[in-house]
A and B are shown apart, each in its own frame.
Chain A
Amino acid sequence: MSETKATIVYNDRIVRQFLYATLVWGIVGMLVGVLIASQLNFWRLNFDTPWLTFSRLRPLHTNAVIFAFVGNMMFAGIYYSTQRLVKARLASDFLSSLHFWGWQAIIVAAAITLPLGLTRSKEYAELIWPINIAVALIWVVFAVNFFWTLARRHEPALYVAIWFYIATIITVAMLYIVNHLSIPTSLLHSYPIFGGLQDGLVQWWYGHNAVAFFLTTPILGIMYYFMPKAAERPVYSYRLSVVHFWSLVFIYIWAGPHHLLNTALPDWLQYLGMTFSLMLWAPSWGGMLNGLLTLRGAWHKLRTDPVLKFFAAGVTFYGMATFEGPLLSIKSVNALGHYTDWIIGHVHAGALGWNGFMAAGMIYWLLPRLWNKPLYSVSLANLHFWTGLVGILLYVAAMWVSGITQGLMLSATTENGTVLAYPNFLDTLNAIRPLMLMRVIGGALYLAGFIICAYNFWKTVKGAQPVDGTIEVFVEQPAPAARMGFGGTWLNAPVLLSVFLVGFSCLWMLGTSYVSVAGLVGAIVTCVAGYALLYSRGKAWQDWYERLLLNALPFSVLTFVAVAAGGLIQIVPTVLIHKADNVEDRIQLPYTPLELAGRDIYVREGCYTCHSQMIRTLVPDVLRYGDYSRLGESIYDHPYQWGSKRTGPDLARVGGKYPDVWHLRHMEDPRSVSVGSNMPSYPWLLENNTDVAALPSKIRVQRMLGVPYGPMSAQQIFDEANGQAKAISLGLREAGAYVAPEKEIVALIAYLQKLGQSTPVAPKAAAK
């Protein structure tokens, strides 16, 4: 075996660039967060300006924090640690730079388009289709750069951090592409190919696992590199790494439906969402344990080292959030907490506590090493820690109290349980206003912490000489014996047993009578066999796994199979089933052209950020909003608008509830008809004209997606829209208010008055 010595210079320039971007976008994202939190309490802060209005800025806040702040932080951490863990410089300087600048361009594009109301309205997937394509391409650039680097590695085995990075790259690509499948109607607008239930299911398969594979797995990888480095202690348990990695990536995917509990989602999917969320608790805590227990023997360092303070607190918040997640996935807990501020508190425990603190710890650890200069001020870093910690605690506590208070008020009944105790939604909103203010204070403190960090960062790197890490390696020829082909990857006990176990379990869960029983028996036999084999042949399994770690491609393939399984089982049956079999006893009336235009205005303004369109199968929901929502009632909704938060009331059956003139006054100034409302005013809807010209193209795409529009010429579409608009305008005039028929408010009123209208269909004979 020939050995030559080579010196490798790491590409640390790209890490520094991503670090700058992390801080800049982090502060921008948090600043927008503080603004929109204030808008909830002080509606005047919407300034009656479209691009400063809450419902348009809220997606900007979430996207900025997730994709800009955590995204850039993740890329910095992955690029820094991967080069060192595989002893190779990043494969291509060009791809690295393309990745960096492409990602920043996407962020800028998002920051411009979202406030302009260019949106797909699917949460964390709002960006319009041309930007979606750019994101997918840049992600591929990242993937190629990463896997190419792995291919050129001088370290044969893959460390646990790399496993998590691989899972991240593969899974995010899969989720992102499927959830963004859409058909454009113009350069800036498209309709998703899924509608109603399917769209909701795909959205939360994506949304839930964006949290898993964008906010969790990469950060766990970063934890596995930076935490033992900073603590100078060995990682607690390799075995725990193996078990919690595979159980985490496999189980996470299945838990998506817990975002749709008690809705029209079919029961079996709700059962899956709830039970798999509970099974996810232990795998998540496996990561927390491996992090915290790595600090054993280094706890005293926490007193002096801000890096470890941030890491220890970050991992603790991770543990708290991943305990709260399964808790909120229990159907009865979810009935109380869903749509309330409790969820907002939960995600901020994750985003501020876990992501934000891990980012801060990583930044303070990297600064002296990337600029070869001690940190400007350790005291300021400590100040950042305590300010941030107090900020999070205020924030999360406020949201817990707020969510539970409002949830209890919304479901409280009187008179022997026959009527709501607080029929006026605004009573429940105004009860939590002090807590919403406390949230602003907590968020502002957290932001202040990051501004301190930026100052510390700036003072450290100013005038400093950036340094790139180097290492000397012995270039070895890879041993051919370690190569793993198809047989080595698949035909071995652990993989085969896992495949059988999942297959049998699915037969048991989803089959009927004999199939189900056979599945159960098969699953039990597989478990027993697996248990017996683990004891007799455990060593061989270990050796196989060690060999798998020498083979990046087979490892990645197995990871992909593990993450793809849950989605396949949940989504494919729902998509393949004939739509007519999945409507329950009602089917919605398709929107007229004017109503469709109104719906697009509803989507553009981001109404879904505060209003759901889903009356759950719960007594308080039915008492407050009317009969529970059926699957068929949103079957033509591309995109679906079930929503995830009720800052205002549900709108599924708002159609016909109020006269047109009520809606006109309400949109112009909500407080004129709803005293005490915190909803922004939308006066521009009374000034802008409806975009009727776009309707023929939109209706053509809707027809392609299966919405039953008859053949209509463009002229017929215009005539129908104008006719309906004139009738509404005339009605408004009779009620004492004049609005020209071509104004957007008329289209929006047409849409709102359509909500909840459906025709009954004969229930299908139980076809299952």
Chain B
Amino acid sequence: MTNAPKQPPAEDAIREHTFDGIQEYDKRLPNWWLFTLYAAIAFWVGYWFYYQNAKIGLSNTEVLQQELARIEAAKLADPANQLDDGTLWKMSRNAVFVDAGKATFTTTCVSCHKESLRGTDEGGIGPNLVDNVWIHGNKPTDLLKVVNEGVLAKGMPAWGPVIGAKKTSEVVAFVLSHHEVPAQ
């Protein structure tokens, strides 16, 4: 018979033994499958050498420290970190800063200081920000410091690292906009 299908030798042989009628071929392992196995093993050896044996690759904490150093440098170079009282008062009279600050205040601060900024006087958790009592100093830079670094003992979180220098200065400008600029 010329048209008989070619019989690949041994390849398609069915194993002699059957189990409950189940037969088994004994085919070669697919090449691409073997390749993925060997490639993964080679990767393991290379990876281990790179990170563990030779320590060429940086560890988790080393990478993190590098990144954090870069972030700190960027922050130090940021003019928003070098504000003085006069500038903050000026910002508090500028609608651009105040509106942006209000938006941040609404999402971040109202849960404790309330929409009205009246805080504990209106059932909130944080102090009233529109009365004339200043717990941690009455200068704009004092206020900026509280927002940036928090007062952990009293439950005020440090917002600087969370929302950044730009937004903290805007929030401070928004709060100051509820107060009179002191006479020089």
Interface string of B40-68 (1 = CB under 8 A from A): 11011001100111000001110110011
CA distance A281 to B52 in the complex (A): 23
CA distance A721 to B10 in the complex (A): 77
Q: Which of B14, B37, B154 contacts A247 (CB 8 A)?
A: B37
Listed residue (B23, B27, B74, B107) with the most chain A CB atoms within 10 angstroms of its CB: B27
Are the C-beta atoms of B27 and A240 separated by less than 8 Å?
A: yes
In the complex, chain B residues whose CB is within 8 Å of the CB of A619: 64, 67-68, 71
Given known A659-B155, A673-B125, contact A234–B14 (CB-CB < 8 A): yes
CA distance A618 to B51 in the complex (A): 18
Chain A residue at minimum C-beta to C-beta distance from B60: A617
In the complex, chain A residues whose CB is within 8 Å of the CB of B24: 160, 234-235, 237-238, 241
Q: Which of A237, A624, A659, A674 contacts B27 (CB 8 A)?
A: A237
Are the C-beta atoms of A282 and B36 separated by less than 8 Å?
A: yes
Query: Is B17 interfacial (CB 8 A cutoff)?
Result: yes
Q: Which of B40, B52, B68, B112 contacts A622 (CB 8 A)?
A: B68
Nearest Cβ on chain A to B178's Cβ, whole angstroms:
22
Are the C-beta atoms of B78 and A278 separated by less than 8 Å?
A: no
Given known A262-B60, A674-B111, contact A414–B37 (CB-CB < 8 A): no
Which residues 261-320 of A have a CB within 8 angstroms of B?
Answer: 262, 267-268, 270-271, 274-276, 278-279, 281-283, 285-286, 289
Which residues 214-241 of A have a CB within 8 angstroms of B?
Answer: 225, 228-229, 234-241
In the complex, chain A residues whose CB is within 8 Å of the CB of B63: 617
Listed residue (B29, B34, B166) with the most chain A CB atoms within 10 angstroms of its CB: B29
Are the C-beta atoms of B164 and A267 separated by less than 8 Å?
A: no
Are the C-beta atoms of B43 and A275 separated by less than 8 Å?
A: yes
CA distance A11 to B157 in the complex (A): 66
Are the C-beta atoms of B71 and A417 separated by less than 8 Å?
A: yes
Nearest Cβ on chain B to A186's Cβ, whole angstroms:
35
CA distance A211 to B61 in the complex (A): 30
Query: Is B95 interfacial (CB 8 A cutoff)?
Result: no
Query: Is A423 interfacial (CB 8 A cutoff)?
Result: yes
In the complex, chain B residues whose CB is within 8 Å of the CB of A279: 37, 40-41, 44
Are the C-beta atoms of A423 and B162 separated by less than 8 Å?
A: yes
Are the C-beta atoms of B20 and A84 separated by less than 8 Å?
A: yes
Are the C-beta atoms of B30 and A289 separated by less than 8 Å?
A: yes
Query: Is A415 interfacial (CB 8 A cutoff)?
Result: yes
Are the C-beta atoms of B40 and A281 separated by less than 8 Å?
A: yes
Query: Is A70 interfacial (CB 8 A cutoff)?
Result: no
Listed residue (B33, B37, B78, B110) with the most chain A CB atoms within 10 angstroms of its CB: B37
Q: Which of B19, B27, B163, B164 contacts A239 (CB 8 A)?
A: B27
CA distance A659 to B154 in the complex (A): 6
CA distance A278 to B63 in the complex (A): 23
CA distance A480 to B97 in the complex (A): 92
Are the C-beta atoms of B48 and A271 separated by less than 8 Å?
A: yes
Chain A residue at minimum C-beta to C-beta distance from B37: A282
Query: Is B22 interfacial (CB 8 A cutoff)?
Result: yes
Query: Is A144 interfacial (CB 8 A cutoff)?
Result: no
- Total interface residues on B, using CB and 8 Å? 60
Are the C-beta atoms of A416 and B74 separated by less than 8 Å?
A: yes
CA distance A25 to B4 in the complex (A): 53
In the complex, chain B residues whose CB is within 8 Å of the CB of A87: 20
Are the C-beta atoms of B59 and A267 separated by less than 8 Å?
A: yes
Are the C-beta atoms of B78 and A418 separated by less than 8 Å?
A: yes
In the complex, chain A residues whose CB is within 8 Å of the CB of B157: 657-658
Are the C-beta atoms of B22 and A159 separated by less than 8 Å?
A: yes
Query: Is A735 interfacial (CB 8 A cutoff)?
Result: yes
In the complex, chain A residues whose CB is within 8 Å of the CB of B34: 282
Query: Is A665 interfacial (CB 8 A cutoff)?
Result: yes
Are the C-beta atoms of B152 and A623 separated by less than 8 Å?
A: no
Given known A267-B51, A279-B40, contact A656–B27 (CB-CB < 8 A): no
Nearest Cβ on chain B to A373's Cβ, whole angstroms:
22
Which residues 587-641 of A have a CB within 8 angstroms of B?
Answer: 617-619, 622-624, 626, 628
CA distance A159 to B22 in the complex (A): 9
Given known A424-B107, A624-B162, A658-B157, contact A271–B29 (CB-CB < 8 A): no
Chain B residue at minimum C-beta to C-beta distance from A509: B48
Query: Is A498 interfacial (CB 8 A cutoff)?
Result: no
Nearest Cβ on chain A to B107's Cβ, whole angstroms:
6
Query: Is A31 interfacial (CB 8 A cutoff)?
Result: no
Nearest Cβ on chain B to A525's Cβ, whole angstroms:
15
Nearest Cβ on chain A to B59's Cβ, whole angstroms:
5
CA distance A540 to B75 in the complex (A): 69
Query: Is A464 interfacial (CB 8 A cutoff)?
Result: no
Are the C-beta atoms of B29 and A237 separated by less than 8 Å?
A: yes
Are the C-beta atoms of A239 and B68 separated by less than 8 Å?
A: no
Query: Is A106 interfacial (CB 8 A cutoff)?
Result: no
In the complex, chain B residues whose CB is within 8 Å of the CB of A276: 44
Are the C-beta atoms of A236 and B27 separated by less than 8 Å?
A: yes
Query: Is A420 interfacial (CB 8 A cutoff)?
Result: yes
Query: Is B6 interfacial (CB 8 A cutoff)?
Result: no
Query: Is A662 interfacial (CB 8 A cutoff)?
Result: yes
Query: Is A730 interfacial (CB 8 A cutoff)?
Result: no
CA distance A270 to B22 in the complex (A): 42
Q: Which of A237, A238, A271 contacts B51 (CB 8 A)?
A: A271
Query: Is A85 interfacial (CB 8 A cutoff)?
Result: yes
CA distance A112 to B20 in the complex (A): 42
Query: Is B161 interfacial (CB 8 A cutoff)?
Result: yes
Nearest Cβ on chain A to B92's Cβ, whole angstroms:
21
In the complex, chain A residues whose CB is within 8 Å of the CB of B20: 81, 84-85, 87, 159, 225
Query: Is A491 interfacial (CB 8 A cutoff)?
Result: no
Chain A residue at minimum C-beta to C-beta distance from B167: A419
Nearest Cβ on chain B to A702's Cβ, whole angstroms:
28
CA distance A335 to B40 in the complex (A): 21
Are the C-beta atoms of B44 and A278 separated by less than 8 Å?
A: yes
Nearest Cβ on chain B to A476's Cβ, whole angstroms:
14
Are the C-beta atoms of A159 and B19 separated by less than 8 Å?
A: yes
Are the C-beta atoms of B36 and A617 separated by less than 8 Å?
A: no
Are the C-beta atoms of B29 and A240 separated by less than 8 Å?
A: yes
Query: Is B120 interfacial (CB 8 A cutoff)?
Result: yes
Are the C-beta atoms of A661 and B22 separated by less than 8 Å?
A: no
Are the C-beta atoms of B60 and A270 separated by less than 8 Å?
A: yes
CA distance A286 to B28 in the complex (A): 12
Are the C-beta atoms of B25 and A418 separated by less than 8 Å?
A: no
Q: Which of A229, A417, A424, A628 contacts B74 (CB 8 A)?
A: A417
Nearest Cβ on chain B to A547's Cβ, whole angstroms:
13
CA distance A698 to B68 in the complex (A): 41
Are the C-beta atoms of B36 and A285 separated by less than 8 Å?
A: yes
Chain A residue at minimum C-beta to C-beta distance from B14: A234
In the complex, chain B residues whose CB is within 8 Å of the CB of A159: 19-20, 22
Q: Which of A275, A427, A656 contacts B48 (CB 8 A)?
A: A275
Which 9 A-B residue pairs are closest in the complex by CB-CB distance?
A659-B155, A419-B164, A282-B37, A234-B23, A275-B44, A617-B60, A237-B27, A159-B19, A84-B20
Knowing that A617-B63, A622-B64 are A-B contacts, what are 20 other residue pairs whose CB atoms are under 8 Å apart, sorted by A's residue number? A81-B20, A234-B24, A235-B23, A238-B15, A238-B25, A243-B29, A271-B47, A271-B51, A279-B40, A282-B36, A282-B40, A417-B74, A418-B75, A424-B107, A628-B64, A659-B154, A661-B125, A661-B155, A735-B120, A736-B120
22 inter-chain pairs at a CB distance below 8 angstroms, sorted by A residue, are A81-B20, A87-B20, A157-B17, A225-B20, A234-B14, A235-B24, A238-B25, A240-B27, A267-B60, A271-B51, A275-B48, A276-B44, A281-B36, A282-B40, A289-B33, A417-B74, A419-B167, A423-B163, A509-B52, A619-B68, A659-B154, A660-B155
